[in-house]
A and B are shown apart, each in its own frame.
Chain A
Amino acid sequence: MIPASFDYIAAKSLDEAISLLAKHKDDAKVLAGGHSLLPAMKLRLMQPKVLIDLGRIRDLSYIKEDGGLIRIGAMTTHFQVEISDLLRRSCPLLPETASHLGDMQVRNKGTIGGSLAHSDPAADWPASILALDAELVATSAKGDRVIKATDFFVEMLTTSLQPGEILREIRIPSGKSKPAQAYVKVRHPASGFAVVGVAVNLSIDGGKCQSAAIGITGVSPKAYRASKVESALKGNALDAKTLSAACAHAAAAVDVNSDLYASAEYRKQLATVYTRRAIEIAAGRAK
């Protein structure tokens, strides 16, 4: 398992990385934590001629809150998200998602930006990013471009990032005082990826669900918002009848994945059950 030969360049700044990417174009891949890219290179499923490493750029790793936004640098590791006090307080969905992700090695080295840009159909982050109505900031020689989470995931392993663009920051609207959020997951026993992963972000007032945002990963070739479930919850008390009617739509209007581990039918059932579980957990946390 030895990769094809390649050149390695450690960029010292984001500007340098952008100009290197503009120079090498399709021959180059941007290296973040390397926990998807390097295994693929070792199997020679990817053979970039040049790797542009973002690992030495210090100002791409941060978690801060200002102007009503939480900003997370793309090179922030999963572990840094998991242990962030700021996020545990104001957006617990992200640390919870991180805690389910991969194994310790992956969480220590892998980054939120790298994972999002790779866009694995069973990665955990996309579900949460969708449920939080996040914005993703891509940067290139032309400057910054802000992409809504719902526009970011195009298909398996493909995002709306354009050639020459590097994902720089993830922005999340600052949460309320008691966020009703939860991420639950059926974990593939070998890979740790999500067979089904459901992220829920609710707003509950006066016993009724004021708004619901639900992101689901692993079920379909790309993560999606379960909008039919959301609209069935909105304005209603989250009782058993509402929940079972709403969650039946968890995999509505998507192509459901099928593989050796889980058939499409089984995945669909898991999506229904785990969506309900995630909503119940999130609602319980609002109390």
Chain B
Amino acid sequence: MKIEGTQKIAAPRDRIFAALIDPAILQKCIPGCEQMEKTGDNQYKAKLTAGVGPVKGAFTATVSLQEIIAPEHYKLVVEGKGQPGFVKGSGELNLKDAGSETEIQYTGDVNVGGLIASVGQRMIQATANMLAARFFKSLEAETATNSPASSTGT
């Protein structure tokens, strides 16, 4: 399954990029992410409860950030599994200045398997789009206000 889109956020590019590689901010922005633990350089282990409405499943995932070119590009590789199935995929984020705003272009390829794929196939794409929209909304909230991004930076 392909996930792609562009999102404009009214904040400077440096600041958004810093937020996008900050595990504390990622944890806040990824819908249902309960824990994000550093396991190595740009490697993290995450615990999350993902789903839609009352249908939810607990997943554990490894997340690694690769090809980091600040402040314009990185690649995100995610592998997760849980009781309802597994998710495996990678995506690239590219940041561009757009006037006073920043345009984030994202494209990814995700495989979803197991139970969730066999019974929930018709809802997976829409769920992915919905979760992406929520992520960027939270990211916008995190980067638009002044304090959190700077205080949680490492």
Contact = CB atoms under 8 A, between A and B. Distances in A.
Given A44-B83, A45-B119, A155-B130, A259 B125 contact: yes
Contact of B124 (A122, A191, A193, A259): A259
Interface stretch (B23-31, B47-55, B87-95, B135-143): B47-55
Contacts, number: 62
B115 A257 contact: no
A259 B116 CA distance: 13
A259 B83 CA distance: 22
Interface string A188-227: 1001010000000000000000000000000011000000
Nearest to A154: B53
A90 interface: no
**Interface of A (DSSP majority class):** loop
B122 A257 contact: yes
Nearest to A218: B122
Contacts of B35: none
Contact of A45 (B55, B121, B125): B55
Nearest to B2: A258
Contacts of B84: 43-45
Nearest to A262: B122
A44 B127 CA distance: 19
A122 B125 CA distance: 14
A46 B122 contact: no
A151 interface: no
A255 B123 CA distance: 13
Which of B56, B84, B115, B122 gathers most chain A CB within 10 Å?
B122
A45 B57 contact: yes
30 contacts: A29-B54, A40-B54, A40-B55, A44-B83, A45-B55, A45-B56, A45-B120, A46-B54, A46-B56, A121-B122, A122-B122, A155-B53, A156-B53, A156-B123, A156-B127, A156-B130, A157-B52, A157-B53, A188-B122, A191-B122, A220-B126, A221-B126, A221-B130, A255-B126, A255-B129, A257-B125, A257-B126, A258-B125, A259-B121, A259-B123
Interface of A: 29, 40, 43-46, 119, 121-122, 155-158, 188, 191, 193, 220-221, 255, 257-261
